[in-house]
Amino acid sequence: MTLSGALEVASCTDPGMVRSHNEDSIASDGDQGLVVLADGMGGYNAGEVASGMATTVIITELQQLLVKRLPYEIDAHSGQLVAHQLLHEQIAKANTSIYQAAQSQPQYAGMGTTLVVALFYDNKMTVAHIGDSRLYRLRGGELRQVTKDHSLLQEQIDSGVITPQQARQSQNKNLVTRALGIDPIVEAEIHDYDTKPEDIYLLCSDGLCDMVSDDDIGLALQTLSSNLKLCAQHLVQTANDNGGRDNISVILVRVLRDYPAPRSIVGKMMSWFK
Amino acid sequence: MAKLILSMDNLVLKEIALTKERTTIGRKPHNDIQIDNLAVSGEHAVIVTILQDSFLEDLGSTNGTVVNGQPIKKHFLQNSDIIELGKYKLKYVNETVAGQAKAADFEKTMVLRPSSVRAATSSAAPAAAAAAPVAAPVAAAAAAAAGAKNFGDTVAGQSATAPPVAPPKPAPTPQKNAALQLLSGANAGKELDITKPLTTLGKPGVQVAVITRRPQGFFITHVEGASFPVVNGKTLDAQAHSLNDHDVIELAGVKMEFFLKT
């Protein structure tokens, strides 16, 4: 299955103004409708190793699997949507790889990574995320945060301890409550969303959203939507102009046209009788 | 670690480190910060500290709690806030902002275990929450983090407190404002103020450029279209170009002058 010509993808990643390493990792395959972003953590270069493992495992495995499996179908055994099943399995696989490396190699002890993956198919996308890397959507001039962070701050906001405005002042920004590769088992949050032509999706690490306000992100996506590459570079540059305290990564996906699943008549008949 | 400086009539009386999860303030002797003055209620206020953040809450005191001149019920404390209780003043100091700004490695993302999160969030919400059972895990978390710092920043996988993070400093915005004056076309003579971080020029689908306002000044960049903008008679490439006062821009057949405003 290919979505050739349905999506435009641009990305940019930068170590920022303070850090010497870039522990973020990004990967994308526009034709397969697949984008992955990870923000690693852990001493020395272990963060890079963890985020690199996460993006590599997920993108290469899914690229192969998507040749044979159709994400919009229902798996006969599990009754799950294939997209969900594939994401669950590959995230579990990436988790195991990172966890085992961290257990077996002392220099990687304690490494982990956040993750946000979007898989586009059949005028829809499935988003899986773990930690505080985010996915935003710009539709009709309005920017909306789609994912909800797995972080201490988000839990404090949810329980009413602090307001989202106060959260921007908080000193507890860097605490995630879920990460890939820390425990033997991790649960990703997975949801489906309908997409429309002209939508723009932004995947980013916290190095962007901690440094650049949602208003400025929305303005950039709206103003520079005709040049996604420039838009991605501009977002990174703005984060750096504001101090660039962390690694900054962005992936932008623009929906150019509808991309309904190519269902055959036979397939439709089959689903009719199920 | 954040602390409070207690003073009266500009005379410093005491410094109190906010090491506990709940620090109580009041007239009665069982308070962590006892202020023996009739204007202060028996149980006047409490400061709840969650890792690096501290929240002040008035416990229904008779004379109220004032922060920076404003009466408050609940307040998220920021460095240098002044808490007033009658004649007494408590200054909130969170040194981590200034002192540790350089130690960028200490602010890396870390994982917090669910158990300590629950402790941190649940205990902070209502004033009535019992302090004792949750104080222990938080203190343990603090100890774990303190130990971990010696090994670098790898604290994921243990319960840990945050290392200090300075809030992002706002970038110095350019002192000057700028504007464009159209020199040709139907709207010749008109002026356009550049106030937003991004201002687009041109016709969508034909030729568009953007002027970005950055701390270093103003820049023009080509966005879309087959032809590139011309500045002072020179055609630009895809790179951003720094704009100087009185530069003349040609774009989609229209000439305009860029100038800085004082």
Helix, strand, coil percentages (3-state) for chain B, rounded to 5, are 15, 40, 45
DSSP output for B96-114: HHHHTTT-GGGG--EE--H
Task: Judge whether A247 and A22 are in contact, CB under 8 Å.
Answer: yes
Q: Which residue has the higher pLDDT, B51 or A233?
A: A233
Closest chain A residue to the Cα of B238, Cα to Cα: A230
Q: Which of B109, B204, B216 sits opposite A176 (nearest CB)?
A: B109
A47-73 average pLDDT score: 94
Cα angle, residue B79 at apex, residues B91 and B48 outer, rounded to 5°: 75
Helices (H), A69-122: 82-104
Task: Answer yes or no: do B110 and A132 touch at CB < 8 A.
Answer: no
Alpha-carbon gap, residue B213 to B177, rounded angstroms: 9
A210 to chain B: which residues are within 8 Å by CB? 168
- Residue A1 is predicted with a pLDDT of 57
Q: Does A60 touch chain B (CB under 8 A)?
A: no
- Residue B99 is predicted with a pLDDT of 41
With pLDDT > 70 as the criterion, what percentage of chain A qualifies?
95
A108-127 average pLDDT score: 95
pLDDT digits (tens, 9 = 90+) for B132-178: 333 333 333 433 433 333 333 333 433 334 444 444 445 455 557 89
The answer to whether the pTM exceeds 0.80 is no
Q: Does B114 touch chain A (CB under 8 A)?
A: yes
Task: Answer yes or no: do B156 and A41 touch at CB < 8 A.
Answer: yes
Q: Which of A213, A232, A246, A184 is nearest to A40 (CA)?
A: A246
Q: Which of A160, A171, A245 sits opposite B164 (nearest CB)?
A: A171
Question: Which helix (H) or strand (E) is A57 found in, with range?
Answer: helix A46-68
Q: Which of B52, B111, B168 sits opposite A210 (nearest CB)?
A: B168
Which residues numbered 37-56 in A keep a CB inside 8 Å of some CB on B? 39, 41-44, 46-47
Model confidence at B120: pLDDT above 60: no
Q: Write down how long chain B is.
A: 262
The residue to which tokens 């915005």 are assigned? B173
Q: Which residues contact A34 (CB under 8 A, 6 or more apart)?
A: A28, A59, A62, A63, A66, A117, A118, A119, A120
The residue to which tokens 């208003």 are assigned? A215
Q: b or e along A220-248 (b: 16 or more beta carbons within 10 Å of the residue's beta carbon)?
A: bbbbbbbbbebbbbbbbbbbbbbbbbbbb
With pLDDT > 90 as the criterion, what percentage of chain B qualifies?
52
Interface test with A, best of B74, B95, B109 (most A CBs within 10 A): B109
Q: Is A55 helix (H, G, I), strand (E, B) or coil?
A: helix
Residue A12, phi then psi, degrees to nearest 5: -160, 135
Task: Answer yes or no: do B168 and A242 touch at CB < 8 A.
Answer: yes
